[in-house]
Amino acid sequence: MQNILGVQPINRLIAKFSIPAIISMLVGAIYNIVDQIFIGNGVEEIAIGATTIAFPIVIVCIAVALLCGVGGASNYNIESGRGEIARARHAAGSALFLMCAAGALLMIIVLIFLTPILRFCGATDMLLDYSITFTSITALGMPFLILTSGGAHLIRADKSPNYSMACILSGTILNIILNPLFIFGFKWGIAGSAWATVSGQVVSASMVAFYFLTKQKMGLHWRDLRPHWHRIKRVLSLGSASSINQVAMLIVQILLNNQLGRYGAQSIYGAEISVTCAGVVSKVSMLFMGITIGISQGCQPIWGFNYGARNYERVIETYKKAAIMCFAIGVMAFSLFQVFPVQIIGLFGVESPEGIVFATRYFRIFMLMTFINGIQPMSSGFFTSIGRAKLGIITSITRHIIFFSPLVLILPRFWGIDGIVFAGPIADTAAAIIAISFAIREVKHLLKKTENSP
């Protein structure tokens, strides 16, 4: 029986795998947005800043989940395409082992060093108490978040994209239901939002565990969970690009929080409003990025299997169609961010004149290059899926590390907080140019392979 990844029309496969992945990414982004909306309206405006301060810790969890999940799934797809079924199972089992071990370790570290970590992430005196309350609770959900986010990639690689989506969707729905109940009904304040988040993560992780215990098709056995260094090394290699992209986001978020606090205090807006509003814009932009990353994640099984099977024409066709979709989504997001910034920011309970002015300016300038922003993460996923780990890593760090971080340190010295605002579109443009250049070169290389194949 032929694998559907190698024979079904590309459009149908992209829809089959990308739509559930997109929904999963969107509901993951909604986790954070729901927290901010209910906290902003049920606690107070600056309390939103606590979730912004805690966000780097969430990024660390996602980075670990991607390191294990994308690495395991990419390995599984490539080995399956080559017909190496036993090696494919070992890759998936090693990834699951890493997720469980890393989740427990990270939770312990965060709980022990909570206050220093939050200070390092940019917590001001006014935000510290809220940040401690929120993060001390959400840290308990870190093992479940990592298992859900990483396990979803393996479930998708096992040709069950709808179940992968259901795992994440179930937790998000519960979070949305419990947030107003805990904040407004039980009057738990910001702690209520944190407990709602953890509850959703536990439910999602339980569904992932249930899948691998009873429903998985890959034939995974308990013995496949035993760690083997050579297989773990391969998982970490192919998962490193996606993980490093998240680590780069972590570095940028911490740097951005501190720079916004420093230069915001010197501006008419103030430190807390600058951090809070920038956090809102970041969470909203995650909805757009969630769609483009979902497209990339949905295409990864198609890229990986067909590359392993040497069906290079299908690999190229999938990349071209994914790029067109990412660009189209980017144009729509760009239009929304430019036309409706005031309406979007109003959803989060930001009502102060300074907050509205800064958030509007931040939306329109910082997100100016939204229409091409999806190409870079999509291309990084493409390179990882075909085993080009180093190229995927380089592409993943261009925007955050090579361009944005130096700009956000240098430009404010001359233009104050406006330097931070303009650093975004400059970095986005440079990163997109590099990603497109690498992708064109790789596609040409695959075309040559196609011409030389018998």
What's the rounded mean pLDDT across residues 110-131?
90
- Looking at residue 454, what is its pLDDT? 56
- Looking at residue 43, what is its pLDDT? 79
Q: What is the pLDDT of residues 121-137, one digit of tens each?
A: 888 788 899 999 999 99
Contacts of 77 (CB under 8 A, 6+ apart): 5, 88, 157, 300, 301, 303, 304, 305, 308, 385
- Looking at residue 45, what is its pLDDT? 67
What's the rounded mean pLDDT across residues 216-244?
80
- Looking at residue 413, what is its pLDDT? 92
Instruction: Report yes or no: 235 and 94 within 8 Å, Cβ to Cβ.
Output: yes
What would the two tokens of residue 19 be? Answer: 């739509």
Position 32 confidence tier, pLDDT thresholds 50, 70, 90: low
Of residues 30 and 59, the one with the higher pLDDT is 59
Question: Percent of the chain, pLDDT > 70?
Answer: 97
* CA 367/CA 422 separation, integer angstroms: 9
Position 112 confidence tier, pLDDT thresholds 50, 70, 90: very high
* CA 210/CA 23 separation, integer angstroms: 21
Closest by Cα among 139, 142, 143, 153 to 24: 153
Q: What is the pLDDT of residues 251-307, one digit of tens each?
A: 887 888 888 888 888 888 877 778 777 877 877 887 888 888 889 888 988 998 888
Residue 338 pLDDT more than 80? yes
- Looking at residue 434, what is its pLDDT? 92
Residue 204 pLDDT more than 90? yes
Tell me the pLDDT of the chain averaged across its residues. Answer: 86
Q: What is the pLDDT of residues 369-424, one digit of tens each?
A: 988 888 888 998 899 888 887 888 888 788 888 999 999 999 999 998 889 989 98
Of residues 451 and 391, the one with the higher pLDDT is 391
pTM of the shown model: 0.73
Q: What is the pLDDT of residues 165-196, one digit of tens each?
A: 899 889 888 988 998 899 988 889 889 989 99
Position 147 confidence tier, pLDDT thresholds 50, 70, 90: very high
Residue 46 pLDDT more than 80? no
Instruction: Report yes or no: 396 and 252 within 8 Å, Cβ to Cβ.
Output: no
Q: Angle at which helices 10-42 and 190-210 pack, to 10 degrees?
A: 150
- Looking at residue 101, what is its pLDDT? 94
Amino acid letter, 91: A
